[in-house]
Amino acid sequence: MDQAERTSHCGSSSAVAAVPAWTGRLVKIYISKGHDYWGRSGEGRLQSGIDELKEIECVAGMGLRGDRYFGTKPGFKGQVTFFDQKVVDEMRQQFKLAKLPASVFRRNLIVSGVDLSEWLGKRFCFQNIEFEGAQECHPCHWMDRVVGPGAAGFMKEGFRGGLRARIHGNGFLSVQPHGG
C-alpha cells in the first residue's frame, strides 16, 4: 500500500475490520460559519469569512464543529472537504497568482502526500479519525470570479476539486508542521 502504508481501527476497541490509514500531512484547516456562494446563482457573493485553525473537532455524522455544514442532514456527503496542496500550487502557477491563498477555494482540509481520487467510495483513517470518501467536490462557476476565467474548468479536470467525505469517528485533527 503506498497511500495507506498501515491499517488502523481509528482508536476503536471494537472488532471492526482494519481501515487503511493515510500517511499524508494536514497543511491547513479552514471553516466558515456561513455560505458565500451556495444558492447564490445570479446574485453577489456573501462575505461570511473563513477562519484558519490549527485544530478542529470532527463529530461523527455531523461534520466539523463550527463549520457551515455542521449537522446539515443525516448522511450528508460534504461533512468535510479535502483539497490537495498540489492543486493549490497548480492553480497559482496556471493563473499566475503566486500569492493566491488556499482559503479562496473554501475547502476545509488542505492535505499533501495523498491522492484524493484513490479514496472515493472508500473508508480511511486520518489522524486516528475514520472518514469515508463520498463524492468528488465539483467546483462551481464562482471559482472563475475569485481566481480567474477558466478556473472552474481547470479544477473539473483530474479530480482537482477535492474530495467530499463523511466523518465516521470523533476526535481532533491538527495541522502538522512540514516534515512532521
CATH number at residue 80: 2.40.33.20
Residue 102 lies inside a defined structural domain of this protein:
yes
Among the listed residues 166, 149, 159, 52, the one whose alpha carbon sits nearest the alpha carbon of residue 106? 52
Mean pLDDT of the chain: 85
Residue 179 lies inside a defined structural domain of this protein:
no
Listed in sequence order, the residues at least 6 apart from 157 whose beta carbon sits closer than 8 Å to its beta carbon are none
The residue that leads in pLDDT, 105 or 11, is: 105
Kindly state the average pLDDT of the residues 36-52.
59
Q: Which residue range forms the structural domain that includes residue 169?
A: 6-10+26-36+48-174
pTM: 0.85
Residue 96 lies inside a defined structural domain of this protein:
yes
User: 21 pairs with which residues across the strands?
Assistant: 6, 125
Among the listed residues 56, 48, 7, the one whose alpha carbon sits nearest the alpha carbon of residue 28? 56
Q: What is the pLDDT of residue 58?
A: 97
53's grid cell: 485553525
Residue 15 binned pLDDT confidence (cut-offs 50, 70, 90): very low
Residue 41 lies inside a defined structural domain of this protein:
no
Residue 180 lies inside a defined structural domain of this protein:
no
Q: What is the pLDDT of residue 16?
A: 54
- H/E segment holding residue 131: strand 129-136
Domains held by the chain: number: 1
Residue 36 binned pLDDT confidence (cut-offs 50, 70, 90): low
Q: How far is the C-alpha of 113 from the C-alpha of 21, rounded, in Å?
A: 12
pLDDT in tens, 133-170: 999 999 888 889 889 999 999 999 999 999 999 999 99
pLDDT of residue 56 exceeding 90, the answer is yes
Among the listed residues 116, 126, 104, 145, the one whose alpha carbon sits nearest the alpha carbon of residue 58? 126
**DSSP tag of 157:** G
Residue 16 lies inside a defined structural domain of this protein:
no
Residue 42 lies inside a defined structural domain of this protein:
no
Strand-pair category, 80-84 with 109-112: parallel
pLDDT in tens, 78-109: 899 999 999 999 999 999 999 999 998 878 99
Residue 161 lies inside a defined structural domain of this protein:
yes
